[in-house]
Amino acid sequence: MEFTAEQIAGLLQGEVDGNPSASVNGLAKIEEGNQGSLSFLSNAKYEEFIYTTESSICIVNKTFIPSKALPATLTLIRVDDAYACFAKLLEIYNSMNRKEPEIEQPSFIHKTASIGTDPYIGAFAYIGQHVKIGHNVQIYPNVVLGDNVQIGDNSILFANVSIYADCIIGNNVIIHAGTVIGSDGFGYAPDENRAYQKIPQIGNVVIEDDVEIGSNCSIDRATMGSTFIRKGVKIDNLCQIAHNVEIGEHTAMAAQVGIAGSAKIGKHVMIGGQAGIAGHLYITDETKIVAQSGVPASIKSADTLMGSPAINHHDFKRSYIGFRKLPFILSKISEFETQIKELMKK
């Protein structure tokens, strides 16, 4: 589908600088643009590419002033915030690629399940007893929904997502391929022979509205009660969230984060990749945890933490400078010991 610069400017409330009839049929990074593509420039670090790009249209900030001649074939659309406007276009573009309503065959839908209007259900999907699916939901091939699962309106479950029995998914939730929701928590108790006996996990997982979960994540059901992923949370690929964890609203975590059982994470927390968080602790709102950090104890005041065990990132950097000097310090100590021994002999 093609759009003209004039049409795009109308969507973004922008101003056309160039040919209003210039048209595009795809999106591209500014350094990879070609004829018929739409790009954007918001970071001055990439300005050099606007003078050589082959894109037909580029979205720029109204404050952008070229330092040299632009390509003759390039039309600009000037807006208040180029990055935000391009994100808006990506969202529109993505919504145009939604699956058309259809129930593909073969798939299994239990007779007690209820499904809202305009669903897409891919081939080989399994929908168990008493499942409730809202309106405009997309369920891709090989998705498994256990008994009593609830899925809210406008949610998308990509291929091979498995949601165990009794779990609840809110509205506008996106779950990417291979993720498992509601698998058993890691609960075992050693008996008199020191053999581990499984503790039944009878709770569920509750995922509130506007959450997005990356591919191949595992979110365990609670031992009792619920594991909660609150509204607006964003979880990257390959994350592990254990039983009875609660993730506060609008918290975001990067890939390979691991959160142990019964940890409570506050609102608007940011967690870098490969960070590990111990169980049965609380992390207060607005905390930032740097990648590969380890958090063994509760964080009661908002801070930026780094290292393992995690401490204030400024303190960590100062400590690391000392750590890097240790070989030199040890060498000096060895020299001093040698000199002392020589003096003692005299």
Other C-beta atoms within 10 Å of 27: how many?
15
Compute φ and ψ for 93, nearest 5 degrees.
-60, -40
Q: Which residue has the tokens 């399940």?
A: 113
Q: Is 243 a catalytic residue?
A: yes
110, 130, 135, 243: the active-site residue? 243
User: Looking at this protein, which amino acid is placed at residue 176?
Assistant: H
**Tokens linked to 8:** 């795009």
Distances (CA, A) of 75 to 103, 168, 322: 43, 47, 54
Distances (CA, A) of 207 to 1, 215, 279: 35, 16, 20
Whether the ω angle into residue 101 lies within 30 degrees of 0, i.e. cis, is: no
Distances (CA, A) of 325 to 245, 307, 321, 333, 334: 40, 18, 7, 12, 14
Q: Which amino acids are annotated catalytic?
A: 243
